[in-house]
Amino acid sequence: AGRRRIGVTACRHCDPPIMDDVLRCSAVLSCQSGIPARDRVPPYLGHPLDKEAFLAWFRKHRPDGVIGFTAGHYHYLLEAGVRIPEDVSFAMLNRVSMKDDFISGVMPITHKVCFQILSLMDQLIRNRVLGMPEYCTTVLVEPNWNEGATM
């Protein structure tokens, strides 16, 4: 959409952050390393449902585009009088409901995730691995992109 200053709502569910929060924030900061300093927007690290903190972050940094963690971030911007996509482009990082089909963003593919989990569990059982596995395994399951109308 030609936007340069993209703000990402990396969010944290609790304090101290859980591993998922740390990985998400690390990914955002890593992606920003190749962006000129003038175009970098610090990620929003507050709780996903803290409307006032999110809007304070938005007003302070004035991004051209927002990658929201939930549909709530889209609605918070609309309630604050922000026109999407005219003023700010918006894409959702975690589109979990079909009612948000008009919002641009990614949607996890639950059946593919479940298949990978079952496959890993089957391998562990067949190899008589009891309890927690010795090493953490990260599996990337590509989500579906929804074009939506908010970009």
The pLDDT assigned to 106 comes to 85
Among candidates 35, 31, 30, which has minimal Cα distance to 4? Answer: 35
For residue 42, give both structure tokens: 């610090």
DSSP string, the chain: -----EEE----SSSSPPHHHHHHHHHHHHHHTTS-GGG--PPP-S-TT-HHHHHHHHHHH--SEEEESSHHHHHHHHHTT--TTTT-EEEES----GGGTTSEEEE--HHHHHHHHHHHHHHHHHTT--SS-SS------PPEEE--S--
How confident is the model over 94-106, as pLDDT tens digits?
A: 766 667 778 888 8
Predicted TM-score of the model (pTM): 0.78
For residue 23, give both structure tokens: 């990985």
Span between the terminal Cα atoms of the chain, in Å: 6
The pLDDT assigned to 8 comes to 92
How confident is the model over 37-57, as pLDDT tens digits?
A: 999 999 998 888 899 999 999
For residue 19, give both structure tokens: 């591993």
Mean pLDDT of 129-141: 80
Is the CB of residue 64 less than 8 Å from the CB of residue 89?
yes
Residue in this structure with the two tokens 């079952």, named with its chain if needed: 118
Residue 130 has pLDDT above 90, yes or no: no
Pairwise CA distance, residues 128 & 49, whole Å: 42
